[in-house]
């Protein structure tokens, strides 16, 4: 199990931590911990060498929206001999306590992943209900979405978020990721 820091503990140590935000670029752009580096969870394997180098210079703190993805990231890092802590409650807990978040200047902020999931799930259910008026088998779309949401709650994972994270607006620009990895490798 990855060590955890509360938002207040992380805030007190922020000057000595290297913060890695594993959310999508859109979520990162919506507000992140000061000085955080964005390495989306699905790009973590590419960043292993840079993260190993950063961990050699000081402690790593991995963050996401709630703590679920950052815990997964810490476990993957530990498999490669890289020690990292996770932020308990994620950026949600950080913001609730009134700690400062930064947003890149001049960037259009895509919707947060949970908002994208709500739009997609709601749209699928509404489509299933409307199409079900004409074709009764279309109601199975609603049942599939409902089952997915229940599974998501029980496992604290989200398959729909994984799919939506693959959309172009949720992907990091190659140059941004390369610059982040170069900065961490120093």
* Structure confidence by residue, pLDDT tens digits, 116-168: 899 999 999 999 999 999 999 999 999 999 999 999 888 888 889 888 888 88
The structural domains of the chain, ordered by start, are: 4-108+172-185 (3.40.250.10), 113-164 (no CATH)
- The C-alpha R_g of the chain, in whole angstroms, comes to 18
User: What does the chain come to in residues?
Assistant: 186
Residues 71 and 99: beta-carbon distance below 8 Å: no
Q: How far apart, in Å, do the first and last CA atoms of the chain sit?
A: 28
Compute the average pLDDT of residues 39-66: 94
pLDDT for 65-106, tens place per residue?
999 999 999 999 999 999 999 999 999 999 999 999 988 776
Axis-axis angle for helices 48-57, 174-185 (nearest 10): 30
Residue 2, SS3 per DSSP: coil
Q: What is the mean pLDDT of residues 29-45?
A: 92
Confidence bin at 172 (pLDDT 50/70/90): low
């Amino acid at each position: 199990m990855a060590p955890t820091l509360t938002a207040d503990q992380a805030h007190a140590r922020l000057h000595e931590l290297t913060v890695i935000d594993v959310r999508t670029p859109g979520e990162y752009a919506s507000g992140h911990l000061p000085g955080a580096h964005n390495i989306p969870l699905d790009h973590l394997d590419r960043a292993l060498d840079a993260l190993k180098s950063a961990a050699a210079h000081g402690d790593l703190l991995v963050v996401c929206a709630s703590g679920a993805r950052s815990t997964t990231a810490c476990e993957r890092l530990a498999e490669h001999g890289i020690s990292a802590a996770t932020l308990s409650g994620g950026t949600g807990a950080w913001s609730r306590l009134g700690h400062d978040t930064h947003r890149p200047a001049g960037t259009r902020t895509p919707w947060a992943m949970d908002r994208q999931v709500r739009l997609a799930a709601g749209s699928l259910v509404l489509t299933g209900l409307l199409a079900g008026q004409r074709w009764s088998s279309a109601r199975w779309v609603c049942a599939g979405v409902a089952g997915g949401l229940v599974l998501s709650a029980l496992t604290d994972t989200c398959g729909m978020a994984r799919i939506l994270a693959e959309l172009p607006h949720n992907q990091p620009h190659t140059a941004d990721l390369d610059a982040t990895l170069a900065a961490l490798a120093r």
